[in-house]
Structure 1
Amino acid sequence: MNLLLDKYKRQSRYTYLMHRPPLKHCRVCGTAVVYRLPDDGDTKERAVCPACATVHYENPLNVVGTVPVWGEDGGQVLLCKRNIEPRWGKWTLPAGFMEMGETTAEGAARETDEEAGAQYEMQALFSIMNVARVGQVHLYYRARLLSTEFNPGHETIEARLFTESEIPWDEIAFKTVKETLERYFDDRRKGRFGIHVLDIA
Protein backbone atom coordinates (compact mmCIF):
# COMPACT_ATOMS: atom_id res chain seq x y z
CA MET A 1 0.00 0.00 0.00
CA ASN A 2 2.80 2.42 0.89
CA LEU A 3 4.53 1.74 -2.43
CA LEU A 4 1.32 2.46 -4.33
CA LEU A 5 0.78 5.66 -2.33
CA ASP A 6 4.36 6.79 -2.96
CA LYS A 7 3.95 6.11 -6.69
CA TYR A 8 0.69 8.11 -6.72
CA LYS A 9 2.32 11.03 -4.91
CA ARG A 10 5.29 11.06 -7.31
CA GLN A 11 2.98 10.89 -10.33
CA SER A 12 0.75 13.66 -8.95
CA ARG A 13 3.76 15.91 -8.28
CA TYR A 14 5.10 15.32 -11.79
CA THR A 15 1.68 16.01 -13.35
CA TYR A 16 1.46 19.25 -11.36
CA LEU A 17 4.93 20.36 -12.41
CA MET A 18 4.31 19.47 -16.05
CA HIS A 19 0.94 21.22 -16.17
CA ARG A 20 0.99 23.89 -13.49
CA PRO A 21 -2.44 25.47 -13.01
CA PRO A 22 -2.72 29.26 -12.77
CA LEU A 23 -1.98 30.68 -9.34
CA LYS A 24 -5.21 31.26 -7.40
CA HIS A 25 -4.18 32.79 -4.08
CA CYS A 26 -1.51 35.19 -2.92
CA ARG A 27 1.46 33.40 -1.35
CA VAL A 28 1.87 36.28 1.10
CA CYS A 29 -1.63 36.95 2.47
CA GLY A 30 -3.88 34.30 0.90
CA THR A 31 -6.19 36.66 -0.98
CA ALA A 32 -7.49 35.53 -4.38
CA VAL A 33 -5.20 36.97 -7.06
CA VAL A 34 -6.20 38.77 -10.25
CA TYR A 35 -4.35 38.31 -13.53
CA ARG A 36 -3.68 41.76 -14.97
CA LEU A 37 -0.88 44.07 -16.06
CA PRO A 38 1.04 45.22 -12.97
CA ASP A 39 1.26 48.94 -12.19
CA ASP A 40 5.05 48.98 -12.59
CA GLY A 41 4.96 49.13 -16.39
CA ASP A 42 5.28 45.38 -16.99
CA THR A 43 3.83 44.39 -20.37
CA LYS A 44 2.85 40.83 -19.39
CA GLU A 45 -0.15 39.84 -17.29
CA ARG A 46 0.85 38.62 -13.84
CA ALA A 47 -0.93 37.24 -10.79
CA VAL A 48 -1.45 40.39 -8.71
CA CYS A 49 -2.84 40.44 -5.18
CA PRO A 50 -5.52 43.15 -4.82
CA ALA A 51 -5.03 43.20 -1.04
CA CYS A 52 -1.26 43.47 -0.48
CA ALA A 53 -0.24 44.38 -4.08
CA THR A 54 2.25 41.51 -4.32
CA VAL A 55 3.08 40.61 -7.92
CA HIS A 56 3.72 36.88 -8.39
CA TYR A 57 6.11 35.81 -11.15
CA GLU A 58 5.67 32.26 -12.47
CA ASN A 59 8.91 31.10 -14.03
CA PRO A 60 10.08 28.02 -15.96
CA LEU A 61 11.37 24.95 -14.13
CA ASN A 62 14.81 23.45 -14.73
CA VAL A 63 15.26 19.75 -15.48
CA VAL A 64 18.89 18.68 -15.02
CA GLY A 65 20.69 15.45 -15.80
CA THR A 66 23.73 13.74 -17.27
CA VAL A 67 24.89 11.73 -20.26
CA PRO A 68 26.98 9.11 -18.41
CA VAL A 69 29.33 7.23 -20.75
CA TRP A 70 31.69 4.29 -20.41
CA GLY A 71 34.84 3.30 -22.26
CA GLU A 72 37.92 5.15 -23.46
CA ASP A 73 36.03 6.25 -26.54
CA GLY A 74 32.75 6.87 -24.70
CA GLY A 75 31.04 4.28 -26.86
CA GLN A 76 28.46 3.19 -24.30
CA VAL A 77 25.88 5.36 -22.58
CA LEU A 78 24.03 4.62 -19.35
CA LEU A 79 20.23 4.66 -19.53
CA CYS A 80 17.64 4.12 -16.81
CA LYS A 81 14.35 2.28 -17.24
CA ARG A 82 11.67 4.37 -15.53
CA ASN A 83 9.75 2.98 -12.57
CA ILE A 84 7.48 6.04 -12.31
CA GLU A 85 4.91 7.78 -14.44
CA PRO A 86 4.80 9.29 -16.91
CA ARG A 87 6.46 6.95 -19.42
CA TRP A 88 6.71 4.05 -16.99
CA GLY A 89 8.96 1.35 -18.44
CA LYS A 90 10.58 3.68 -20.98
CA TRP A 91 14.30 4.46 -21.10
CA THR A 92 15.80 7.80 -20.14
CA LEU A 93 18.99 9.53 -19.13
CA PRO A 94 19.24 10.13 -15.36
CA ALA A 95 17.58 13.51 -14.83
CA GLY A 96 14.94 15.32 -12.82
CA PHE A 97 13.75 18.64 -11.47
CA MET A 98 16.36 20.91 -9.95
CA GLU A 99 15.97 21.55 -6.21
CA MET A 100 16.28 24.85 -4.38
CA GLY A 101 19.77 25.61 -3.10
CA GLU A 102 21.70 23.64 -5.71
CA THR A 103 23.50 24.54 -8.92
CA THR A 104 22.55 22.92 -12.22
CA ALA A 105 25.63 20.67 -12.02
CA GLU A 106 24.84 19.69 -8.43
CA GLY A 107 21.27 18.86 -9.39
CA ALA A 108 22.41 16.77 -12.35
CA ALA A 109 24.84 14.90 -10.09
CA ARG A 110 22.16 14.28 -7.45
CA GLU A 111 19.74 12.89 -10.03
CA THR A 112 22.45 10.60 -11.40
CA ASP A 113 23.13 9.33 -7.88
CA GLU A 114 19.43 8.81 -7.12
CA GLU A 115 18.34 7.21 -10.38
CA ALA A 116 21.41 5.24 -11.45
CA GLY A 117 23.57 4.82 -8.35
CA ALA A 118 26.59 5.30 -10.60
CA GLN A 119 30.18 6.30 -9.88
CA TYR A 120 31.19 9.01 -12.32
CA GLU A 121 33.15 12.17 -12.98
CA MET A 122 31.15 15.24 -14.02
CA GLN A 123 32.22 16.93 -17.24
CA ALA A 124 31.08 19.91 -19.28
CA LEU A 125 27.57 21.12 -20.00
CA PHE A 126 26.39 19.45 -23.21
CA SER A 127 22.82 20.42 -24.10
CA ILE A 128 20.33 23.14 -23.23
CA MET A 129 16.78 22.61 -24.46
CA ASN A 130 13.89 25.03 -24.16
CA VAL A 131 10.55 23.26 -23.77
CA ALA A 132 8.41 26.39 -23.73
CA ARG A 133 5.05 24.64 -24.07
CA VAL A 134 5.41 23.18 -20.56
CA GLY A 135 7.52 25.99 -19.08
CA GLN A 136 10.75 24.01 -18.71
CA VAL A 137 14.45 24.21 -19.57
CA HIS A 138 16.37 20.91 -19.77
CA LEU A 139 20.13 20.87 -19.20
CA TYR A 140 22.39 17.82 -19.61
CA TYR A 141 26.05 17.46 -18.62
CA ARG A 142 28.45 14.88 -19.95
CA ALA A 143 29.75 12.47 -17.31
CA ARG A 144 32.49 9.82 -17.44
CA LEU A 145 31.62 6.60 -15.65
CA LEU A 146 34.29 5.23 -13.30
CA SER A 147 32.67 1.82 -12.86
CA THR A 148 30.10 -0.45 -14.48
CA GLU A 149 28.54 -1.25 -11.11
CA PHE A 150 25.18 0.50 -10.66
CA ASN A 151 22.82 0.70 -7.72
CA PRO A 152 19.65 2.36 -9.06
CA GLY A 153 17.09 3.87 -6.71
CA HIS A 154 13.36 3.21 -6.44
CA GLU A 155 12.50 5.37 -9.48
CA THR A 156 14.49 3.06 -11.77
CA ILE A 157 13.64 -0.51 -12.78
CA GLU A 158 17.01 -1.14 -14.40
CA ALA A 159 20.16 0.80 -15.27
CA ARG A 160 22.34 -0.51 -18.08
CA LEU A 161 24.84 0.46 -20.75
CA PHE A 162 24.01 0.70 -24.45
CA THR A 163 26.05 1.25 -27.58
CA GLU A 164 24.44 3.53 -30.16
CA SER A 165 23.13 0.58 -32.18
CA GLU A 166 21.71 -1.11 -29.08
CA ILE A 167 19.68 1.86 -27.83
CA PRO A 168 15.91 1.14 -28.01
CA TRP A 169 15.21 4.41 -29.82
CA ASP A 170 11.45 3.77 -30.01
CA GLU A 171 11.38 3.25 -26.24
CA ILE A 172 13.06 6.54 -25.23
CA ALA A 173 10.85 8.36 -22.74
CA PHE A 174 11.27 12.00 -23.78
CA LYS A 175 12.16 13.96 -26.90
CA THR A 176 14.80 15.96 -25.01
CA VAL A 177 16.57 12.72 -24.10
CA LYS A 178 16.47 11.45 -27.69
CA GLU A 179 17.79 14.76 -29.05
CA THR A 180 20.61 14.78 -26.50
CA LEU A 181 21.61 11.19 -27.27
CA GLU A 182 21.61 11.81 -31.03
CA ARG A 183 23.84 14.85 -30.63
CA TYR A 184 26.17 13.03 -28.26
CA PHE A 185 26.84 10.25 -30.78
CA ASP A 186 27.14 12.78 -33.63
CA ASP A 187 29.78 14.72 -31.68
CA ARG A 188 31.56 11.49 -30.72
CA ARG A 189 31.93 10.59 -34.40
CA LYS A 190 33.33 14.07 -35.11
CA GLY A 191 35.79 13.75 -32.24
CA ARG A 192 34.74 16.97 -30.49
CA PHE A 193 31.95 17.96 -28.13
CA GLY A 194 30.16 21.28 -28.13
CA ILE A 195 27.20 22.79 -26.33
CA HIS A 196 23.89 22.29 -28.11
CA VAL A 197 21.02 24.75 -27.67
CA LEU A 198 17.63 23.60 -28.98
CA ASP A 199 13.99 24.62 -28.95
CA ILE A 200 11.74 21.60 -28.49
CA ALA A 201 8.22 21.87 -29.89
Structure 2
Amino acid sequence: MDSSSYHSPPSSLHSFGDVQNVKFCQWCGGPTKHEIPEERLRVICTSCGKITYQNPKMLKSTQCTPLMEKLNEKFFEKLRTLPDGYLEIGESAMEGAIRETREEANVDVEVISPFAQLDIPLIGQIFGHDYGILARLKKPHFSLGPESSECQLFSLNEIPYSSLSFSSMVVTLSLYVEDMKEGGKPKFHYVTIIKRSLPTFL
Protein backbone atom coordinates (compact mmCIF):
# COMPACT_ATOMS: atom_id res chain seq x y z
CA MET A 1 0.00 0.00 0.00
CA ASP A 2 1.48 3.33 -1.06
CA SER A 3 0.77 5.61 1.87
CA SER A 4 2.52 8.59 0.28
CA SER A 5 0.12 8.94 -2.63
CA TYR A 6 -2.97 11.09 -2.50
CA HIS A 7 -6.09 10.43 -4.52
CA SER A 8 -8.36 13.44 -4.82
CA PRO A 9 -11.99 12.32 -4.66
CA PRO A 10 -14.49 13.49 -7.27
CA SER A 11 -15.89 16.96 -6.58
CA SER A 12 -19.34 15.45 -6.08
CA LEU A 13 -18.07 13.69 -2.97
CA HIS A 14 -17.09 17.02 -1.44
CA SER A 15 -20.57 18.43 -1.75
CA PHE A 16 -22.90 16.35 0.34
CA GLY A 17 -21.98 14.59 3.58
CA ASP A 18 -24.79 15.44 6.02
CA VAL A 19 -25.52 18.84 4.45
CA GLN A 20 -28.85 17.86 2.91
CA ASN A 21 -30.10 16.60 6.28
CA VAL A 22 -29.72 20.02 7.94
CA LYS A 23 -33.20 21.58 7.95
CA PHE A 24 -32.84 24.35 10.53
CA CYS A 25 -30.32 27.11 11.20
CA GLN A 26 -27.89 26.54 14.07
CA TRP A 27 -27.86 30.28 14.77
CA CYS A 28 -31.54 31.32 14.85
CA GLY A 29 -33.48 28.09 14.30
CA GLY A 30 -35.02 29.31 11.07
CA PRO A 31 -35.68 27.03 8.08
CA THR A 32 -32.82 26.47 5.66
CA LYS A 33 -32.32 26.10 1.94
CA HIS A 34 -29.55 24.34 0.03
CA GLU A 35 -27.58 26.27 -2.57
CA ILE A 36 -24.09 26.36 -4.10
CA PRO A 37 -22.81 29.92 -3.51
CA GLU A 38 -19.11 29.01 -3.33
CA GLU A 39 -18.60 25.86 -5.43
CA ARG A 40 -20.00 23.55 -2.72
CA LEU A 41 -23.49 22.75 -1.53
CA ARG A 42 -24.17 24.89 1.54
CA VAL A 43 -26.91 25.16 4.15
CA ILE A 44 -28.22 28.75 4.14
CA CYS A 45 -30.76 30.14 6.58
CA THR A 46 -33.78 31.71 4.89
CA SER A 47 -34.30 33.97 7.93
CA CYS A 48 -30.89 35.34 8.97
CA GLY A 49 -28.91 34.37 5.87
CA LYS A 50 -26.07 32.71 7.78
CA ILE A 51 -24.37 29.56 6.47
CA THR A 52 -24.16 26.44 8.61
CA TYR A 53 -20.84 24.76 7.78
CA GLN A 54 -20.37 21.03 8.14
CA ASN A 55 -16.78 20.44 9.24
CA PRO A 56 -14.89 17.14 9.46
CA LYS A 57 -14.66 15.38 12.80
CA MET A 58 -11.49 13.84 14.12
CA LEU A 59 -11.53 10.29 15.37
CA LYS A 60 -8.44 8.75 16.91
CA SER A 61 -7.52 5.21 17.89
CA THR A 62 -4.69 3.61 19.82
CA GLN A 63 -2.40 1.00 18.30
CA CYS A 64 -0.98 -1.23 21.04
CA THR A 65 0.63 -4.48 19.94
CA PRO A 66 -2.35 -4.64 18.82
CA LEU A 67 -4.88 -4.63 21.63
CA MET A 68 -8.41 -5.08 20.29
CA GLU A 69 -11.85 -5.10 21.81
CA LYS A 70 -15.09 -6.71 20.71
CA LEU A 71 -17.81 -4.10 20.59
CA ASN A 72 -20.79 -4.27 22.92
CA GLU A 73 -23.10 -2.18 20.73
CA LYS A 74 -25.88 -4.19 19.09
CA PHE A 75 -25.22 -2.88 15.57
CA PHE A 76 -21.52 -3.87 15.74
CA GLU A 77 -21.94 -6.99 17.86
CA LYS A 78 -19.16 -9.58 17.35
CA LEU A 79 -16.98 -7.07 15.48
CA ARG A 80 -13.60 -5.90 16.74
CA THR A 81 -11.85 -2.56 16.81
CA LEU A 82 -8.83 -0.85 18.26
CA PRO A 83 -9.63 1.41 21.22
CA ASP A 84 -10.99 4.54 19.56
CA GLY A 85 -13.40 7.44 19.84
CA TYR A 86 -13.93 11.14 19.26
CA LEU A 87 -11.89 13.83 20.95
CA GLU A 88 -13.39 15.83 23.79
CA ILE A 89 -13.28 19.63 23.72
CA GLY A 90 -9.88 20.85 24.90
CA GLU A 91 -8.26 17.43 24.46
CA SER A 92 -5.22 16.64 22.32
CA ALA A 93 -5.11 13.56 20.08
CA MET A 94 -2.56 11.95 22.41
CA GLU A 95 -4.67 12.66 25.51
CA GLY A 96 -7.74 11.31 23.76
CA ALA A 97 -5.98 8.08 22.81
CA ILE A 98 -4.87 7.53 26.40
CA ARG A 99 -8.36 8.25 27.74
CA GLU A 100 -10.20 6.04 25.25
CA THR A 101 -7.84 3.12 25.86
CA ARG A 102 -8.36 3.45 29.60
CA GLU A 103 -12.15 3.69 29.19
CA GLU A 104 -12.48 0.77 26.77
CA ALA A 105 -9.80 -1.63 28.02
CA ASN A 106 -9.07 -0.48 31.58
CA VAL A 107 -5.38 -0.08 30.84
CA ASP A 108 -2.90 2.80 30.88
CA VAL A 109 -0.66 3.31 27.87
CA GLU A 110 2.45 5.29 27.09
CA VAL A 111 2.19 7.14 23.78
CA ILE A 112 5.13 6.53 21.45
CA SER A 113 4.25 8.58 18.37
CA PRO A 114 1.59 9.34 15.77
CA PHE A 115 1.32 6.51 13.25
CA ALA A 116 -1.16 7.37 10.50
CA GLN A 117 -3.72 9.87 9.33
CA LEU A 118 -6.59 8.38 7.38
CA ASP A 119 -8.96 10.76 5.63
CA ILE A 120 -12.43 9.59 4.56
CA PRO A 121 -13.91 12.59 2.69
CA LEU A 122 -17.27 10.99 1.88
CA ILE A 123 -18.33 10.69 5.51
CA GLY A 124 -16.66 13.92 6.62
CA GLN A 125 -14.23 12.38 9.07
CA ILE A 126 -10.50 12.47 9.58
CA PHE A 127 -9.18 9.37 11.26
CA GLY A 128 -5.95 10.38 12.99
CA HIS A 129 -5.17 6.80 13.75
CA ASP A 130 -3.56 7.51 16.74
CA TYR A 131 -3.44 9.73 14.13
CA GLY A 132 -2.82 5.67 14.35
CA ILE A 133 -1.44 6.60 17.79
CA LEU A 134 1.29 4.12 18.57
CA ALA A 135 1.44 3.30 22.25
CA ARG A 136 2.71 0.62 24.58
CA LEU A 137 0.97 -0.90 27.57
CA LYS A 138 2.41 0.33 30.87
CA LYS A 139 1.37 -2.96 32.46
CA PRO A 140 0.31 -6.21 30.75
CA HIS A 141 -3.08 -6.16 32.45
CA PHE A 142 -6.35 -5.11 30.84
CA SER A 143 -10.05 -5.84 31.26
CA LEU A 144 -13.44 -5.06 29.77
CA GLY A 145 -14.77 -1.54 29.66
CA PRO A 146 -18.51 -0.70 29.54
CA GLU A 147 -18.50 -0.55 25.71
CA SER A 148 -16.72 -3.88 25.22
CA SER A 149 -17.81 -7.50 25.42
CA GLU A 150 -14.30 -8.90 24.95
CA CYS A 151 -10.74 -7.55 25.07
CA GLN A 152 -7.73 -9.38 23.65
CA LEU A 153 -4.13 -8.98 22.48
CA PHE A 154 -3.23 -10.40 19.05
CA SER A 155 0.11 -11.23 17.48
CA LEU A 156 0.66 -9.78 14.01
CA ASN A 157 -0.14 -13.06 12.27
CA GLU A 158 -3.35 -13.54 14.26
CA ILE A 159 -5.09 -10.24 13.48
CA PRO A 160 -8.77 -11.05 12.68
CA TYR A 161 -9.15 -8.79 9.63
CA SER A 162 -12.49 -10.33 8.62
CA SER A 163 -14.13 -9.26 11.88
CA LEU A 164 -12.79 -5.69 12.04
CA SER A 165 -15.56 -3.13 12.34
CA PHE A 166 -14.22 -0.36 10.09
CA SER A 167 -12.20 -0.11 6.88
CA SER A 168 -9.94 2.39 8.66
CA MET A 169 -8.94 -0.34 11.12
CA VAL A 170 -8.06 -2.72 8.28
CA VAL A 171 -5.89 -0.06 6.63
CA THR A 172 -4.16 0.98 9.86
CA LEU A 173 -3.31 -2.55 10.93
CA SER A 174 -2.19 -3.51 7.41
CA LEU A 175 0.21 -0.55 7.36
CA TYR A 176 1.57 -1.50 10.77
CA VAL A 177 2.14 -5.13 9.75
CA GLU A 178 3.89 -4.00 6.54
CA ASP A 179 6.20 -1.73 8.53
CA MET A 180 7.09 -4.54 10.92
CA LYS A 181 7.86 -6.92 8.05
CA GLU A 182 9.97 -4.37 6.20
CA GLY A 183 12.28 -3.47 9.03
CA GLY A 184 10.49 -3.43 12.32
CA LYS A 185 10.29 0.35 12.61
CA PRO A 186 6.89 2.04 12.18
CA LYS A 187 6.69 5.01 9.81
CA PHE A 188 4.12 7.78 9.66
CA HIS A 189 1.50 7.24 6.94
CA TYR A 190 -1.03 9.48 5.24
CA VAL A 191 -3.83 7.76 3.35
CA THR A 192 -7.10 8.85 1.79
CA ILE A 193 -9.79 6.17 1.75
CA ILE A 194 -12.07 6.72 -1.23
CA LYS A 195 -15.64 5.50 -0.80
CA ARG A 196 -18.08 5.78 -3.70
CA SER A 197 -21.13 5.35 -1.50
CA LEU A 198 -21.88 5.05 2.18
CA PRO A 199 -21.41 1.40 3.21
CA THR A 200 -23.07 -0.52 6.00
CA PHE A 201 -19.83 -0.32 7.97
CA LEU A 202 -17.63 2.77 7.54
TM-score, structure 1 normalization: 0.79
Moved more, 165-174 or 88-97: 165-174
Match of 2:108 among 85, 97, 119: 119
* Separation in 1, partners of 2:36, 2:52: 11
Q: Are the counterparts in 2 of residues 65 and 109 from structure 1 also a CA contact under 8 Å?
A: no
Contact map agreement 1:91 1:171 (CA 8 A) in 2: yes
Contact 2:81 2:165 in 1 (8 A): yes
Corresponding letter in the other structure for 2:170: K
Q: Which runs of 5+ in 1 are unaligned?
A: 1-17, 70-76
Partner of 2:39: 43
Map 1:83-162 to 2 at 5 A. Answer: 83-140=72-129, 141-162=133-154
Q: Aligned-residue CA RMSD in angstroms?
A: 1.9
Match of 1:196 in 2: 189
Structure 1 position 20, deviation (Å): 7.5
Return 5+ residue gaps in structure 2 as ranges.
1-16, 195-202
> Deviations along 1:102-141, whole A, 9 cap, x unmatched?
2222222221111111121012110111112211111120
Q: Which residue of 2 aligns with 1:28?
A: 27
Inter-partner Cα distance in structure 2 for 1:46 and 1:130: 21
**Amino acid paired to 1:99:** E
How far did residue 85 of structure 1 move?
4.2
Matched, 1:63 2:56: no
Equivalenced residue count is 174
Distance in structure 2 (CA, Å) of the matches to 1:47 and 1:20: 6
Which residue type is aligned with residue 68 of structure 1?
A: C
Supply the distance in 2 between the matched residues of 1:103 and 1:119 (Cα, whole angstroms): 16
Letter of the 2:43 counterpart: A
Which region of structure 1 is more displaced relative to structure 2, 137-146 or 105-114? 105-114
Q: 1:159 to 1:21 in 2, by over 3 A?
A: farther
Structure 1 distance, partners of 2:171, 2:43, is 34
Q: Relative to 1, partners in 2 of residues 1:120 and 1:180: Cα closer, same or farther, differing over 3 Å?
A: same
How far the C-alpha of 1:151 sits from its partner, in A, is: 2.8
Q: Secondary structure at the match of 2:96?
A: helix
Q: Percent identity?
A: 32
CA 1:185/1:35 → structure 2, altered by over 3 Å: closer, same or farther?
A: same
How far is 1:19 from its partner?
A: 6.4
